Amino acid sequence: GENVEQHPSTLSVQEGDSAVIKCTYSDSASNYFPWYKQELGKGPQLIIDIRSNVGEKKDQRIAVTLNKTAKHFSLHITETQPEDSAVYFCAASPYGGSQGNLIFGKGTKLSVKP
Amino acid sequence: EPEVTQTPSHQVTQMGQEVILRCVPISNHLYFYWYRQILGQKVEFLVSFYNNEISEKSEIFDDQFSVERPDGSNFTLKIRSTKLEDSAMYFCASSERRLQETQYFGPGTRLLVL
């Protein structure tokens, strides 16, 4: 089945710097890749997603890139702020989207230091 | 903004007891999911539900688990005979459609089995 690997597991940056989190997936049929932000004690909140017919998507300070050939996708956060501190999860939807379940990476704990 | 709600927020139970976790998905959504997250680990898919039946389930979702949509608004996860290893955060999610569709997560129920 699908397997999603996520790196790094922890990331510490200074406020204003950029942060990059990378994920790889194993099932070439996967075609939907969301990113979730989880704050302490809360459920995952979708921050951005990308579908396999698109190579890049941007929403203000957040961008996601997808390389289908290499089977990896990345989250880029620019001009980081302390409130960006959270755990970020990437996910992939296997079986080419014929099933709805998401396979998650292990998460990246991002700390933004003021 | 519509959101997924879950009750209770915390549940403590004795090993072998039955628990029912409740969720109210977003009202116009048709697909419902349960995920779990053992402390410090990744979010894992349990089951998806559509049109009053299970669409897909993972290896974790064995015979001790069941799901139900008892009325037009609630979606429940029952664990018949809890085990210590069932201790985790359980998240409900819903989506309007299945294919490549955003899943919105609830805040979770933290289950502790003693």
What are A85-110's pLDDT values in tens digits? 999 999 998 754 445 688 999 999 99
pLDDT, tens only, A2-15: 899 999 999 999 99
Q: Has residue B99 got a pLDDT over 80?
A: no
Residue A60 tokens, joined: 């203000």
What CA–CA distance (Å, rounded) separates B52 from A96? 23
pLDDT value of residue B17: 97
Would you state the pLDDT for residue A101?
81
Which residues in chain A have their CB less than 8 angstroms from residue B31's CB?
A: 100
Which residue in the set A32, A101, A107 is minimally distant from B42, CB to CB? A107
Percent of chain A with pLDDT over 70: 95
pLDDT recorded at residue B100: 55
| pLDDT of res. A13 | 97
Residue A1: per-residue pLDDT = 79
Q: Does A105 touch chain B (CB under 8 A)?
A: yes
Per-residue confidence (pLDDT) for residue B96, from 0 to 100 = 85
Which of B31, B33, B43 is closest, CB to CB, to A104? Answer: B43
Tell me the per-residue pLDDT of A15-39, one tens digit each, with 9 for 90 and over. 999 999 999 999 888 888 999 999 9
**Within an 8 Å CB–CB cutoff, is residue B55 touching chain A?**
yes
Residues of B in contact with A25 (CB under 8 A): none
The pLDDT of A50-71, averaged and rounded, is: 92
**pLDDT, tens digit (0-9, with 9 covering 90-100), for B9-52:** 999 999 999 999 999 999 889 899 999 999 888 899 999 998 88
- Residue A96: the pLDDT is 47
Contacts of B99-104 with CB under 8 Å at 24 or more apart are: B99/A32, B99/A97, B99/A98, B99/A100, B100/A31, B100/A32, B100/A51, B100/A93, B100/A97, B101/A100, B101/B31, B102/A34, B102/A46, B102/A49, B103/A34, B103/A46, B103/A100, B103/A102, B103/B33, B104/A46, B104/B3, B104/B4, B104/B26, B104/B29
Q: What is the pLDDT of residue A95?
A: 57
Which residues does chain A have within 8 Å of residue B48's beta carbon, measured at their own beta carbons? 99-101
Which range of A52-66, A71-85, B43-57 scores highest in mean pLDDT? It is: A71-85
